[in-house]
Amino acid sequence: MSDNRPVGVFDSGVGGLTLLRELDSFMPYEDYIYLADTARMPYGTRTEDEIVAYSEQLIHFLEKQDCKMIVIACNTVSGLLPQIEKDIKSTVPVVGIINYGCVAAALYVTYNFRIGVWATQRTVDSQVYRKFMDNFDPTVKILTESCTDLIPLIEKGKVGSPEMRRLTDKCIQPMRNEDIDTIILGCTHLPFIKTIIQDILTPAVTIIDPAKRTAVLCNKTLMDKGISRKKHSAPGTKKFYVTGDPDAFLKTSKLLIGDMATRVESVDVGQ
């Protein structure tokens, strides 16, 4: 039986569009609802209690839209997923972007076992990637660095600006000095500047984008639960909601991913 309900995706801002892009590429026949909490972003500087409370509101909103699965396109929130799941007891599967897939992929390609994780300060402090890696190999060196200062520039769509290049170079230098050969993009905003990151690090460093592994995991979850859309002959639809300025989001999204979003609606999720 085909389940035609939409898949819900949420993030604090435009960063989660990188995951939506991967989901749509992998499962173009599914309908999607994207929700960005732009009124309260960035999450990387919020307290744990605030993040959990905001996330519960966003999940409840997507549940009311009859979403069959909810995907957390935010590393900061995904690091708190066990607590969130315990509090909300969602009736639909909730999938976080931090998963064993991206950690296993990094472990598979590294040859000197020195892996960098670039994420917001909140994700860095949680050491969630260290915890995942310990389940595979606790001897692997994980080197973390904060990318929080880059988020405002990406949210404004300034991915090709000289300032972006300069700040990226500055922020990533400590991991370069530690001779990493693999880096996990631990923030969904970072794939938008993947070309700059690769250029700075050189092709000798392998970049792991968790969004690709998460898309595969989401497809498996839908199939395992028997809720995938089996009957399809045309691309699915996409709806976009924000808690802040819809025009600002639409403008930035066009700069980053083209015309995927043609209409953005502002909503109140209870803040």
Amino acid letter, 132 = F
- Which residues are identified as catalytic? 74, 187
| Nearest CA-CA partner of 245 in 19, 34, 40 | 40
Distance between CA atoms of residues 221 and 228, nearest Å: 9
Sign of the alpha-carbon torsion through 178, 183, 187, 193: positive
Distance between CA atoms of residues 162 and 62, nearest Å: 38
Distance between CA atoms of residues 173 and 200, nearest Å: 9
- Residue 261: DSSP 8-state: -
Distance between CA atoms of residues 212 and 7, nearest Å: 16
Label the pairing between strands 264-266 and 238-242: parallel
| Nearest CA-CA partner of 267 in 245, 238, 234, 236 | 245
What tokens does 24 get?
């749509």
Distance between CA atoms of residues 142 and 132, nearest Å: 11
- Contacts (Cβ under 8 Å, ≥6 apart) of 43: 12, 37, 51, 54, 74, 76, 77, 120, 122
Cis peptide before 246 (omega within 30 of 0): no
- Contacts (Cβ under 8 Å, ≥6 apart) of 56: 84, 87, 88
What tokens does 56 get?
């519960």
The residues pairing with 265 across neighbouring beta strands, listed in sequence order, are 241
